[in-house]
Structure 1
């Protein structure tokens, strides 16, 4: 039996949302091999509906899929400028939660991306580079059993 305490991702994302005044924070985790390594949003804070529960992403699709595939942080200051309206259907979490400004960080376990931390606002240009870096620093290298391996270098 494993006596190690289970990390409370829900508490952590609730704290992040409150601390930084974010509208939405979520963690997508990779599902097991029998599910062909799809990503699903497991923990959310600040959601306006439950559509996130039906979102299943393959590597390279959607925000979580892109960050999962590349292993690189992503910052979109203004969704309307960064993604054309006709391409929004490829980003279901943005549409479902009406996000306009967001950031996403890969969460690693050893040498593999195992999850994605997504955070953002429902107003354009609300997530600045400075705030993006500050949030990265706040979560630090440890995020439960996962860690933020790659740091953005200024």
Structure 2
């Protein structure tokens, strides 16, 4: 267990450095007793530790949407695509001051078990093609997880 945790943190750190993201975070599902809530467990580039207190349910927040749909999510411009008070439905975006994000479902045995989030705080843009590239690479990185389809938020 500790070995896997160290591996995931190291991989999150490497993705951040390789692509120069401002934030890379990994949310994992909790036990069945917790009704498959998601918690952000690993992060690199985080501004604070608020992400550790965020609990997401299926369909809620970025991780919850990706968990529920099983598809990647790209929001190129948070300011233009998420309006006003709707931003409070995306606590990691708010607490980390993200401007552009991509989130990828991590599959294990035909079930989404985690969500990988990458983001920028400045005017850099995360595109669908960038997320597709990362998705093809993470199959080896986050084993036993693998990626699947894409979902664009428009």
TM-score, shorter chain, exceeding 0.5: yes
Q: CA deviation at 1:136?
A: 2.0
More helix as a share of residues? 2
**C-alpha RMSD over aligned residues:** 1.9
Q: How does 1:54-133 map to 2 (within 5 A)?
A: 54-133=53-132
- State the TM-score, normalizing by the size of structure 2: 0.89
Q: Is the 1:75–1:102 Cα contact (8 Å) retained in structure 2? A: yes
Deviant stretches of 4+, over 3 Å: none
Contact conserved, 1:99 with 1:120, CA < 8 A, in 2?
A: yes
Q: CA deviation at 1:125?
A: 4.8
Q: Given the alignment of the two structures, is residue 6 of structure 1 paired with residue 38 of structure 2, yes or no?
A: no
How far apart are 1:141 and its partner, in Å? 5.9
Unaligned runs of 5+ in 1: none
- Could you list the runs of 5+ residues in structure 2 that have no partner in the other structure? none
Match of 2:144 in 1: 145
Deviation at 1:137, TM superposition (A): 2.6
Structure with greater Cα Rg: 1
